[in-house]
Amino acid sequence: MKELKKEDIKQGVFDLYDDYAHDRLSRRLFLDRLSTYAVGGLTVSSLLGFISPDYVKKIQIQQDDIRLNSEFINYDSPKGGGSIKGLLSRPAGVKEKLPGIIVVHENRGLNPHIEDVGRRAALAGFIALAPDALTPLGGYPGTDDEGRELQRQRDRNEMLQDFIAAYEHLKNHPECTGKVGVVGFCFGGWISNMMAIEVSDLAAAVPFYGGQPKEAIENINAPLLLHFGALDKRVNAGWPAYEEALKKYGKEYEAHSYENANHGFHNDTTPRYDRAAAELAWNRTIAFFKEKLG
């Protein structure tokens, strides 16, 4: 059987995976509907294997990269999950204080991809903290399916408090300037939007395809940089109302929609990845943080 390529897969497969990954389809129903695309030599197992994340081959920056000091720490989250584990990364050999970035995972805990993103942020010249909101349940369990199952057991507002506590920890870290922003993906995008509301001195927020808040938008002080995949109808449906409120209250924001990009287009471990869109969005993100965090 020939090696599958992204252009071999119909958009409906990506839409189905999005529904499954966000708990709108059971695994049984997901596989049943996926079977309708198993034609022309394609099988359900080959489709499933193709759209599933590959954390072995796709990591860009390894944990032991000599350009970084990267280690797991624990910090206190009194209003959230108690003691939370996170990956703290910063450039090696840098003695001056650095601005900070909180990196917020998707709806499956701190998997290898988000650890990688945390290291990428550090390599760009920041001190980055990537927490694992699954810590109270034992942490990321090793697979995304199990991670999603665990994350469903936690209250999302308590998890929000875990990331706010991460912000406070990083802001007061002796190697941080005290200027801290947040970037998050999917669930982490929602967290990023909510932290902009809840954290009055947050320096910047960058939600990637994140759900939008509906209340207290007037409380936002942080400048926003928002990224959307043009094919992501589910998340994009809430953007017009959010943008209207941002305009109403005179908030600073910049939004980009990436043509032909799906939800999750920045995640390079799955075929939803769109290299051109992901690289452009990440470059914009780093430039934004450098401008807003100093």
Q: Single out the residue of 4, 22, 52 nearest to residue 233, CA to CA.
A: 22
Helix (H) or strand (E) holding 231, with range, is none
pLDDT at position 1: 46
Tokens of 32: 């049943």
pLDDT at position 40: 73
H-assigned helices in the chain: 11-21, 27-34, 44-51, 112-123, 144-151, 156-171, 187-198, 233-236, 239-248, 275-293
Per-residue model confidence as pLDDT tens digits over 217-271: 999 999 999 999 999 999 999 999 999 999 999 999 999 999 999 999 999 999 8
Q: Please name the residue that has the structure tokens 């003691």.
A: 83
Rounded to whole angstroms, the Cα distance separating 149 from 134 reads 10
Q: Please tell me whether residue 150 adopts helix, strand or coil conformation.
A: helix
Residues of the chain scoring pLDDT < 70? 1-3
E-strand stretches of 57-114: 68-77, 82-91, 98-104
For the chain, the structural domain boundaries read: 6-51, 68-293
Residue type, 5: K
Q: Please name the residue that has the structure tokens 């399916």.
A: 145
Rounded to whole angstroms, the Cα distance separating 101 from 201 reads 14
pLDDT at position 239: 98
Q: Please tell me whether residue 178 adopts helix, strand or coil conformation.
A: strand
Question: What global pTM score does this model have?
Answer: 0.93
pLDDT at position 60: 93
Q: Please tell me whether residue 247 adopts helix, strand or coil conformation.
A: helix
Beta carbons within 8 Å of 204's beta carbon, 6+ residues apart: 181, 182, 222, 223, 224, 225, 288, 289, 292, 293
Beta carbons within 8 Å of 69's beta carbon, 6+ residues apart: 89, 90, 91, 92
Helix (H) or strand (E) holding 138, with range, is none
Beta carbons within 8 Å of 106's beta carbon, 6+ residues apart: 114, 185, 186, 187, 188, 264, 267
Q: Maximum distance among all alpha carbons in the chain? A: 59
Helix (H) or strand (E) holding 184, with range, is strand 176-185
Report the CATH superfamily, name and number, of domain 68-293. Answer: Alpha/Beta hydrolase fold, catalytic domain (3.40.50.1820)
Q: Angle between the 44-51 and 27-34 helix axes, to the nearest 10 degrees?
A: 110
Q: What is the DSSP letter of 124?
A: T
Cα 270–Cα 273–Cα 277 angle in degrees, nearest 5: 165
How far is residue 137 from each of residues 87, 133, 134, 141, 162, measured CA to CA in Å? 17, 9, 5, 9, 13
